[in-house]
A and B are shown apart, each in its own frame.
Chain A
Amino acid sequence: MKGIVPLLLGIFGTLAFSWAGLILIPNYQIGHLDPQVDEDGNDPYPAPKSGMANRGRRIYAANGCVYCHSQQVRADYAGSDIDRKWGVRRSAPRDYLFERPVQLGQMRLGPDLSNVAKRAPGEEENAAPAASPTPAGPATPQASPATKPAPGASPSMPPATASAPPATSPAPSSSTAVAAASPSPAANAASTAGTADAAHGNPPLYTAAWHHRHLYSPRSLVLDSNMPNYHFLYEKRRITGERAADALKLDERDAVPEGWEVVPTYDAKCLVAYLMSLDQSHPLKEVKATAAPPSSAPATSPAAAASPAPAPTKEAK
């Protein structure tokens, strides 16, 4: 090599080029996104997570969940993610606005968790296919206000903006409050639908109770799972007075002695709160929605009903 100066300039320039190209420009493009709102400034998505869920994300990161569970749904042409009902649409940068640390992951020794809070009974591949047919009583009425106003409003508005629910009350109840609302419809749906599970005394799929039980004893719920158990997030203690309300209902393989109970620690509750907040079903303007879920999953399942599947298609046009 001729001299030191070209060498140093080249060393500097090549990395500067890559830094500008892969960090600075993308940061300019997608590094300063705002939550999406409708034309009235309502229905913001995504919303910041609750304090418990944020702490739960720390637990999730600290215990390395990301090394087995991704949180990104690829488009339908790029993989089977949507066919596996891990989401109704592909993930977009805006979905991760408030995520820190972001846990995209690049390994799937466990299922993708982007929408685990939204995944309804019967959509889990291990569950009996018969789990979904009974439409959940409370879920349908709750979801319908969100979908109904859209067609009604469209004549007066350009189609591009038509999809957003016009007014206040229905929208937040079904969309913004996902974190809070989703457990209840899911639980309701599951309690009616997941009767097969209930017969065994197992909690309905993807409810908070199910997550706790699954974290404590994965193989008691999913036979072939190779997830480790997280006993250290739970406390085994002697029952004093009354049995705690949140004590785990365990089957015989994990049975604790008479007079003892297993209760989640605060960390475990936060972790489950975080899992119950993972939901990317809200439509985004920049993402073309994939076609409605295949017929095997009836549109009456809470996930499909709560996310207005037809709406984003209209927006995209």
Chain B
Amino acid sequence: MTVPVATTAESDVTVRDVEYVERALIDASTRLPVLFFYGSAIAWLLLGTLLAGLTSWKLHAPDLLSNISFLTWGRLRPAHMNVMVYGWASMAGLGTAIWLMARLCRTTLRHPLLLIGAAAFWNLGVLLGVGGILAGDSTGYEWLEFPPYAAVVLFIAYSLVVSWAILMFRFRRGDHIYITQWYLLGAFLWFPWVYGAAQIMLFVVPVQGVMQAAVTWWFANNLLFLWFGAIGLGTAYYMIPKVIGRPVYSYHLAAVGFWTYALFASWTGMQRMVDGPFPAWMITASIAATILTVIPVATVGLNHHMTMRGYFGLLRYSPTLRFTVFGAISYTVFSLIGVVLSLRSMAGYVHFSEASVAYSHMGLYAFFTMTMFGSMYYIVPRLVGREWRYASLIKLHFWSSTYGVGLMVLMLLVGGLAQGVSLHDPTLPFTESTESILPYLRGRSVSGVLLTVAHVVFAFHFGLMLFGLGRTASVPTFLNPKEEEALEARL
């Protein structure tokens, strides 16, 4: 009688122990490359924030530093954007994606040092690219301003990373492929095609005339949706169920969401060129695709919401959950605003206004960046073996990011509308439109102060973790003091 009971208990402990050790081993194998990707990303984030501040400030103080060629507004703006896109967002996304891939494939990362090489190459590529832009070597294609010599380096770095990710996938244990893996695999395979095709069609065998713009915007929107969007959504699909300890509400919904997303989001590129010099069907097709992205948005949103139902109270405690849920909600808002902005009746007003900048920031910041912050708050403690030092700093980071990006998007959307309405009325002088947006641009600069605070605080906190100054504790850092019993009761 006693013997079987003892055996069961013993084997239970063993299985849990094995899984625990296995996870620890996997985390340890990803430790150096992921931290290197994260550290570089945060360094680029700080530089990008500085460039963003200059870009924003110079819009209402045009003569500031304008007699220095490499600080002219028209070079700072693409430098800022590319630092954020390729330096911060891509590197943070890659770090998270590598870690998630290793965890979900239940396999250790083999030869992690080579990935550090890849990250170094990536840094070199971004450095060359940004240097090139500031030195006056920009290609002049939006989102692709990096000169080809930098793009080549980036591509080499990328090939290394993707080979590692695919290798991990090849050596995965278990038949089941989790939702996050669909998105990550998609992102890893879409990126080289999108980036490679754009580079080849613009610089190697260049297409003619306006087709260059078609390639550029096809690239830009696919980078936004199929690269950043896929990594962001995949991360959310991992983090939300993981933190609340509950499976995803519906696999079926997730599949519908994934495939409709891949199908429709990839067609949205020409939405950026409404009524431009293209065959009308191209633009109409993209507008239709943008409208259809409501389907994946609704399914993904519903799925997250149903997973979270009854657990929203946890947002009070978990930094990861708070950032990730903010990102997931922003994804819905971002997509719906995209639909509204792309409609022809609306585009007549807001096209060519700052509203498009608001749209990009919603996608890249409110959705993607916030999701990445969330994943970093989850992953970094597992890599360094310490917990985040100060709950107050996390809170400060969250709120200044939230208010910062909220204020920025609000200012740019409302300002863009004011600008667009003035632009639309031909009886008003042109300068009326630039005058009408100036107050909003000043407001946007104020939002930049908040974002700067957020990023500096986060970088400082990350630095503490990196140098082993985190807390040594067995429980994670909660945003608010948590009474264990109260939480248990809630659960």
**B267 within 8 Å of A (CB atoms):** yes
A27 lies within 8 A of B190 (CB): no
Interface stretch, picked from B25-33, B74-82, B123-131, B331-339, is B74-82
Q: A15-B193, A64-B75 are in contact. Are A228 and B58 (CB under 8 A)?
A: yes
Partner among B186, B269, B274, B354 whose Cβ is within 8 Å of the Cβ of A22? B269
CB interface residues, B 254-297, toward A, < 8 Å: 255, 259, 262-263, 266-267, 269-270, 272-279, 282, 285-286
Q: Which B residues lie within 8 Å of A101 (CB)?
A: 139-141, 202, 212
Q: A56–B273 Cα gap in the complex (Å)? A: 24
Say how far B424's CB is from chain A's closest CB, in angstroms.
5
Whether A70 contacts B352 in the complex (CB less than 8 A), given A93-B278, A101-B139, comes out as yes
- Is B160 among interface residues, defined by CB-CB distance under 8 A? no
Q: Which of A90, A94, A98, A100 has the most CB of B within 10 A?
A: A100
Contact between A22 and B263, CB atoms less than 8 A apart:
no
**A31 at interface by CB-CB < 8 Å:** yes
Contact A62 B266 (CB under 8 A): no
* CB-based contact B185/A109 at 8 Å: no
Across-interface contacts of A78 in B (CB, < 8 A)? 274-275, 344, 348
A15–B63 contact, CB under 8 A?
A: no
With a cutoff of 8 Å between Cβ atoms, the chain B residues found around residue A92 in the complex are 277
**Cα A58 to Cα B431 with chains together (Å):** 27
- Is chain B's interface secondary structure helix, strand, loop, or mixed overall? helix
Stretch of B14-22, B113-121, B432-440 at the chain-chain interface: B432-440
| Known A-B contacts A7-B177, A23-B214, A126-B429; A107 and B62 likewise in contact (beta carbons under 8 Å) | no
- With contacts A19-B197, A22-B218, A79-B275 taken as known, whether A100 is within 8 angstroms of B282 at the C-beta atoms is no
Known: A15-B262, A33-B209. A22 touches B275 (CB 8 A): no
In the complex, which residue of chain A has the Cβ closest to the Cβ of B183?
A: A11
A18 close to B (CB within 8 Å): yes
Is B186 a contact of A11 with CB atoms below 8 Å? yes
Contact A30 B279, beta carbon cutoff 8 Å: yes
Q: Is A75 an interface residue (CB 8 A)?
A: yes
Residues 1-43 (chain A) with a chain B CB within 8 angstroms: 1, 4, 7-8, 10-12, 14-15, 17-19, 21-23, 26-27, 29-33
- Whether the Cβ atoms of B211 and A31 lie closer than 8 Å is yes
- List which A60-111 residues lie within 8 A (CB) of chain B: 60-68, 70, 72, 74-75, 78-80, 83-84, 90-111
Q: Is A229 an interface residue (CB 8 A)?
A: yes
The number of residues on chain A lying at the interface, defined by a beta carbon within 8 Å of a beta carbon of chain B, is 77
Count B-side interface residues using an 8 Å CB cutoff: 85
Q: Are B73 and A30 in contact (CB under 8 A)?
A: no
Contact A80 B276 (CB under 8 A): no
B405 within 8 A of A: no
Q: In angstroms, how far is the closest chain B Cβ from the Cβ of A131?
A: 14
Instruction: Give, as a whole number of angstroms, the nearest-CB distance from A21 to chain B.
Output: 7
25 A–B pairs (Cβ distance < 8 Å), ordered by A? A1-B255, A4-B177, A11-B186, A11-B190, A11-B262, A12-B189, A15-B222, A23-B215, A30-B208, A30-B209, A31-B209, A60-B140, A67-B74, A72-B276, A74-B275, A79-B351, A91-B277, A101-B140, A101-B202, A104-B277, A107-B352, A110-B434, A111-B430, A218-B62, A226-B59
Given contacts A23-B201, A104-B210, 16 further A-B contacts (CB under 8 A): A11-B190, A17-B266, A18-B218, A21-B285, A61-B140, A79-B348, A79-B352, A80-B423, A92-B277, A96-B209, A100-B206, A102-B212, A108-B433, A228-B74, A229-B62, A232-B72
